[in-house]
């Protein structure tokens, strides 16, 4: 099949018909930030971290198809400032205390904060009152860390075929809920081996009795390499 190209920051990028801008960029070794995207699931452009300029207009790179001749801007001061603002907003709408989180050093939200030099929350922190669900024998949910990426929702629905998770409400009232008679994880059909347990990009879904032992602080994915280095393998890290 003939190879066609578009440009990212004036660099020619080959793609095959049907690929999104994000997929073509990753294949070419170019990092476009993302949080709710995962190659196993249909993209929905929810987090907006992958917003780029396509011929001068904003688009989400995970959903917008690559086309020959497109001029895509990714690394601009304005786009980077927008991404920093998005990360700041995600931090202040939840309760994220990185030093005490089991996912510290392997959390994509934390890594994006470093990538875009987030020095402070900037906005007034909301400190929402959210509970921890430790009712399951093998898995804990820390709702304070959930960023509503919906990866667990899609994994449970499309891979595990259990529909354990869902998002209820809209705007600031949106929240992750559990499909069980009591609303508790322990009364759901979730198993520790489910795909939904493995895809959380932050520290919201945690496997019990593992903690910091699986990969000690200092030896975790983003301790030595920035999140932009993940594009070299075109892989998204799994939960630990």
**pLDDT tens figures, 175-224:** 999 999 999 999 999 999 999 999 999 999 999 998 776 777 778 889 88
Q: How many CA atoms lie within 13 A of 24 on its CB side?
A: 26
Residue 147 reports pLDDT greater than 60: yes
Neighbour-count burial for 174-208, b at 16+ CB within 10 Å, e otherwise: eebebbbeeeebeebebeeebbbbbbbbbbbbbbe
| Predicted TM-score (pTM) above 0.95 | no
> Residue 237: its pLDDT value, please?
52
> Residue 234: its pLDDT value, please?
41
For residues 147-163, give the mean pLDDT: 97
> Residue 213: its pLDDT value, please?
66
CB 21 within 8 A of CB 52: yes
Task: Quote the tokens at residue 40.
Answer: 């196993």
Task: Quote the tokens at residue 89.
Answer: 């907003």
> Residue 210: its pLDDT value, please?
86
Q: How far apart are alpha carbons 186 and 151 in whole angstroms? A: 20
CATH 3.30.450.20 at 80-213, yes or no? no
- Across the strands, what pairs with 58? 53
CATH of domain 4-75: 3.10.20.740
User: Could you tell me the CA-to-CA distances from 222 to 40, 156, 168 in Å, in that order?
Assistant: 22, 27, 32
Percent over 70 (pLDDT), the chain: 95
Task: Quote the tokens at residue 74.
Answer: 């990714």
For the stretch 19-56, pLDDT in tens is: 999 999 999 999 999 999 999 999 999 999 999 999 99
In sign, the C-alpha dihedral spanning 160, 163, 165, 171 is positive
> Which among 11-20, 98-107, 214-223, 225-234 has the top mean pLDDT?
11-20
Residue 238 reports pLDDT greater than 60: no
Angle at 234 between CA 229 and CA 235, to 5 degrees: 90
Spell out the domain ranges in the chain: 4-75, 80-213
Angle at 58 between CA 56 and CA 60, to 5 degrees: 135
With H, G, I as helix, E, B as strand and everything else as coil, classify residue 207: strand
Q: How far apart are alpha carbons 202 and 39 in whole angstroms? A: 17
Lowest-confidence segment of 5-9, 65-69, 171-175, 182-186 by average pLDDT: 171-175
Residue 239 reports pLDDT greater than 60: no
Lowest-confidence segment of 76-80, 125-129, 174-178 by average pLDDT: 125-129
> Residue 2: its pLDDT value, please?
52
User: Could you tell me the CA-to-CA distances from 115 to 10, 49, 69, 177, 197 in Å, in that order?
Assistant: 22, 12, 29, 30, 26
Residue 240 reports pLDDT greater than 50: no
């Amino acid at each position: 099949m003939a190879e066609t190209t578009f440009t990212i920051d004036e660099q020619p990028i080959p793609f095959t018909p049907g690929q999104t801008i994000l997929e073509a960029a990753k294949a070419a070794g170019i990092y476009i930030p993302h949080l709710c995207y995962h190659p196993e699931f249909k993209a929905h452009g929810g987090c907006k971290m992958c917003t780029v300029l396509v011929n001068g207009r904003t688009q989400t790179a995970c959903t917008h198809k690559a086309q020959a001749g497109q001029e895509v801007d990714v690394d601009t001061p304005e786009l980077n400032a927008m991404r920093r603002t998005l990360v700041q907003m995600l931090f202040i709408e939840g309760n994220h205390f990185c030093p005490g989180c089991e996912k510290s050093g392997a959390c994509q939200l934390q890594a994006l904060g470093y990538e875009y030099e987030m020095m402070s929350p900037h906005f007034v922190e909301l400190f929402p009152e959210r509970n921890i669900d430790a009712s399951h024998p093998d898995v804990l949910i820390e709702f304070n860390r959930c960023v509503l990426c919906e990866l667990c929702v899609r994994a449970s629905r499309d891979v595990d075929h259990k529909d354990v998770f869902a998002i209820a409400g809209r705007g600031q009232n949106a929240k992750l809920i559990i499909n069980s008679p009591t609303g508790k994880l322990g009364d759901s059909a979730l198993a520790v081996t489910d795909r939904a347990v493995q895809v959380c990009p932050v520290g919201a879904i945690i496997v019990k009795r593992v903690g910091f032992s699986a990969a000690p602080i200092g030896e975790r994915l983003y301790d030595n390499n920035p999140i932009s280095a993940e594009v070299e393998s075109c892989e998204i890290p799994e939960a630990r």
